[in-house]
């Protein structure tokens, strides 16, 4: 059963300050009678195990329209929840109960034993004896040999994320229902999943766990296929001011190669956020774990907003098909040409 537990290190002073701030917010909230909630996110698993991801938060009351539907809100509300550090979380799956511990940022990321059928399965997560919240994991059949890993920002959703001011605007100010999909990407991913039944679909992004519910709603609203979400915590780590998005992607890709050694992944990204460089490195390290790479080219204006392009032009040593196009329709044509999609 896969397991990865990072070793603790010296805590950066900014991280200590952040922790004290959230501890103060937690004390104030609890004095007002508010209690934490376990918020599970979509995970994945294999034969005999699942990777459960979620977060423990004291969350503000959700807003609804007069018709009772979830209202569009400013992005900053995604960051208004109070993370509960080192919370004891109960995970129930397959009739078995497991106790796991959240990290300093309230994030739960644990591998637990579970014998479940392949496909989407349900687990429940609770904290402090509260009402269990259902979550889902996609269990990969041992016979599956193909999977999809897709970036989100500027690959399936237009964000121009790398530039700090635009990142702040998209994350904190823009209404959640105002975000726009990249043309043709929903159709492309749905087609790939349909032509490869049983294959895992994973969304690997440098985005923060805070926006996971927003991203899930965005993907569903624009008809993207459901998939496991692999995001990162926002803010300082134990040894630096901010988390490294490239390290997050590299670590998770290597983890997938270890967890599913028989699967060859179709890697989808864009040329504005180091995806080309990361995928090149991963393909060199794990050539049998990559079936093809598809890179969405940003428009000149988008590339400027995103801080330029970071394309590695020479892919001759990759040994796998490497295609680029401006949108989902163009990538579909090129994936057809190299045999990844049916013509």
Same domain (yes/no): 126, 150:
no
Same domain (yes/no): 91, 224:
no
Domain assignment present for 7: no
Same domain (yes/no): 68, 155:
no
Same domain (yes/no): 150, 101:
no
Same domain (yes/no): 328, 204:
yes
Domain assignment present for 117: yes
Let me know how long the chain is. Answer: 343
**Comparing 87-96, 147-156, 239-248, 328-337, which segment has the lowest mean pLDDT?**
239-248
Same domain (yes/no): 77, 150:
no
Same domain (yes/no): 87, 178:
no
292 pLDDT more than 90: yes
Same domain (yes/no): 39, 129:
yes
Same domain (yes/no): 89, 118:
yes
Same domain (yes/no): 326, 224:
yes
**What is the model's pLDDT at position 93?**
97
**What is the model's pLDDT at position 235?**
52
- If you average pLDDT over residues 37-65, what whole number do you get? 85
Domain assignment present for 87: yes
Domain assignment present for 1: no
- If you average pLDDT over residues 303-316, what whole number do you get? 52
CA 127 from chain centre, in angstroms, equals 23
**Comparing 12-26, 131-145, 224-238, 285-299, which segment has the lowest mean pLDDT?**
12-26
Same domain (yes/no): 126, 183:
no
Q: CATH code at 172?
A: 3.40.50.1000
pTM for this prediction: 0.83
More confident residue, 22 or 98: 98
**What is the model's pLDDT at position 304?**
46
**What is the model's pLDDT at position 206?**
84
Domain assignment present for 312: yes
Number of compact structural domains in the chain: 2
Of 117, 139, 161, the position where a domain reaches its end is 139
HEC-encoded secondary structure of the chain: CCCCCCCCCCCCHHHHHHHHHHHHHHHHHHHCCCCCEEEEEEEEEECCEEEEEEEEEECCCCCECCCCCECCCEHHHHHCCEECCCCEEEEEECCEEEEEECCCCCEEEEEEECCCCCEEEEEEEEECCCCCEEEEEEECCCCCCEEEEECCECCCEECCCCCHHHHHHHHHHCEHHHCEECCCHHHHHHHHHHHCCCCCEEEEEEEEHHHHHHHHHHHHHCCCCCCEEEEECCCCCCCCCCCCHHHHHHHHHHHHHHHCCCCEEEEEEECCCCHHHHHHHHHHHCHHHEEEEEEECCCHHHHHHCCCCCCCCCCCCCCCCEEEECCHHHHHHHHHHCCCCCC
Domain assignment present for 2: no
Same domain (yes/no): 175, 323:
yes
Domain assignment present for 79: yes
Of 139, 172, 192, the position where a domain reaches its end is 139
Instruction: Give the model's confidence band at 177: pLDDT under 50 very low, under 70 low, under 90 confident, else very high.
Output: low
**Comparing 74-88, 224-238, 264-278, which segment has the lowest mean pLDDT?**
74-88
Q: CATH code at 73?
A: 2.60.40.10
Domain assignment present for 258: yes
Full domain range(s) for residue 216: 146-337
Instruction: Give the model's confidence band at 64: pLDDT under 50 very low, under 70 low, under 90 confident, else very high.
Output: very low
Of 139, 157, 190, the position where a domain reaches its end is 139
């Amino acid at each position: 059963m896969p397991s990865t537990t990072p070793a603790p290190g010296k805590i950066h002073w900014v991280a200590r300050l952040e922790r004290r701030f959230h501890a103060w917010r937690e004390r104030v909230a609890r004095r007002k009678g508010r209690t934490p909630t376990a918020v599970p996110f979509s995970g994945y698993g294999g034969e005999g195990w699942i990777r459960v991801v979620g977060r423990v938060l004291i969350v503000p009351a959700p807003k609804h329209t007069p018709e009772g539907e979830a209202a569009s809100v400013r992005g900053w509300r995604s960051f208004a929840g109070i993370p509960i550090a080192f919370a004891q979380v109960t995970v129930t799956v397959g009739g078995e109960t497991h106790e796991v511990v959240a990290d300093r940022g309230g994030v739960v990321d644990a591998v637990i034993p579970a014998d479940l059928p392949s496909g989407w399965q349900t687990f429940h997560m609770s904290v402090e004896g509260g009402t269990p919240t259902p979550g889902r994991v996609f269990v990969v059949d041992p016979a599956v040999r193909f999977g999809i890993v897709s970036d989100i920002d500027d690959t399936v959703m237009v964000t121009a994320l790398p530039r700090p001011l635009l990142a702040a605007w998209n994350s904190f100010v823009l209404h959640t229902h105002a975000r726009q999909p990249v043309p043709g990407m929903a159709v492309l991913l749905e087609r790939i999943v349909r032509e490869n039944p049983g294959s895992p679909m994973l969304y690997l992004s440098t985005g923060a766990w805070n926006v996971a519910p927003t991203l899930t709603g965005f993907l569903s609203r624009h008809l993207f296929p459901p998939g496991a979400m692999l995001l990162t915590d926002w803010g300082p780590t134990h040894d630096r001011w901010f988390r490294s998005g490239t390290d997050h992607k590299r670590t998770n890709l290597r983890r997938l190669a270890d967890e599913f050694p028989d699967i060859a992944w179709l890697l989808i990204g864009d040329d504005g956020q180091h995806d080309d460089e990361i995928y090149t490195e991963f393909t060199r390290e794990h050539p049998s774990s990559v079936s093809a790479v598809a890179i969405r080219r940003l428009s000149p204006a988008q590339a400027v907003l995103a801080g330029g392009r970071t394309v590695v032009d020479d892919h001759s040593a990759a040994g796998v098909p490497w295609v680029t196009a401006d949108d989902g329709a163009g990538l579909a044509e090129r994936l057809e040409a190299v045999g990844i999609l049916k013509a």
